[in-house]
């Protein structure tokens, strides 16, 4: 079946602009995670959804970052007033649920470049 | 100090060599993952383990919960094994992953 998909695969934007990154999880997966990976680093946790609600947003770096998952499937990560430091690969992962030990399946990522 | 430390950061091996990548962590966990990431590619899960040892093909992963340490071994390495190998631990109520910085492996023919 289809895996986790993310769009766009690449996004170049100017400093100060607003961007939206989309994640389509595996069908039936209720848990959805956003991570950010800077060049040469391991991914860092941003936010986690169980169903429609953000159960843990402790990794969001500041209030310019926001994410939604209104119907419990597709999620959108929104970044306002982008800064050059936001340039990174944004990864999405989904799992069957957060309870218990379930595998997380990763999307291919969106490479964001802020110029 | 990072909660998840990997060593080495970079590793170059000759084809056929036995490879070991180490991971140490300082937090309580419910599971540990070994992941593979090719340049420009997505992340693929190799193993998820909470105790003991798992084997898949030429790959072996072990974990020692008491010592908070895990190793990933690759037997009979091949150039196609060249990638970044990332250790990640899962903990807390949300099961979010905490990642190491990765080990860049290059296997030369």
The pLDDT tens digits of the residues spanning A53-73 come to: 998 999 999 999 999 999 999
pLDDT in tens, B3-47: 999 999 999 999 999 999 999 999 888 899 999 998 877 899 999
d(CA B102, CA A108): 17
Query: How many CB atoms are located within 10 Å of the residue A75 CB?
Result: 25
Longest pairwise C-alpha distance within chain A? 42
Average pLDDT of the residues in B59-70: 96
> Which helix H or strand E contains A93, and what residues bound it?
strand A88-95
Burial of B69: CB neighbours in 10 Å, binned 0-12, 13-18, 19+: middle
With an 8 Å Cβ cutoff, is A33 touching chain B?
yes
Q: Sort out which chain B residues have CB atoms less than 8 A from A104's CB and list them.
A: 33, 45, 97
From A83's Cα to the closest Cα of chain B, the distance in A is 23
Nearest Cα of chain A lies from the Cα of B93 at a distance, in angstroms, of: 8
**pLDDT(B1) > 70:** no
> Are B95 and A31 within 8 A, CB to CB?
yes
Residue B49 CA to chain centroid, in angstroms? 11
Rounded distance between C-alpha atoms, residue A37 and residue B107, angstroms: 24
The residues in B 65-104 lying below 8 A from A, measured between CB atoms, are 86, 88, 90, 92-102
Paired tokens of A19: 């961007």
Asked whether the predicted pLDDT for residue A1 surpasses 60, the reply is: no
């Amino acid at each position: 079946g289809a895996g986790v998909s993310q769009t766009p695969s690449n996004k170049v934007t100017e400093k100060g602009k607003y961007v939206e990154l989309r994640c389509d999880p595996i069908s039936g997966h209720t848990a959805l995670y956003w991570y950010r990976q800077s060049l040469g680093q391991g991914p860092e946790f941003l936010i986690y959804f169980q169903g429609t609600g953000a159960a843990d947003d402790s990794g969001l770096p500041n209030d310019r970052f926001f994410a939604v998952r209104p119907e419990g499937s597709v999620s959108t990560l929104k970044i306002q007033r982008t800064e050059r430091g936001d340039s990174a690969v944004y990864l999405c992962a989904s799992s069957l649920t957060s309870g218990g030990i379930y595998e997380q399946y990763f999307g291919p990522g969106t490479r964001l470049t802020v110029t | 100090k990072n909660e998840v430390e990997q060593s080495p950061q970079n590793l170059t091996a000759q084809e056929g060599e036995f490879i070991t990548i180490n991971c140490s962590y300082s937090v309580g966990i419910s599971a540990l993952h070994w992941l593979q990431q090719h340049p420009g590619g997505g992340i693929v899960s190799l193993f998820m383990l909470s105790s003991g040892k798992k084997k898949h093909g030429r790959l072996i992963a072990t974990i020692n919960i008491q010592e908070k340490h895990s190793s990933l071994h690759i037997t009979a390495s091949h150039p196609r094994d060249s990638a970044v190998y990332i250790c990640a631990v899962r903990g807390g109520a949300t099961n979010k992953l905490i990642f190491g910085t990765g080990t860049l492996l290059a296997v030369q023919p």
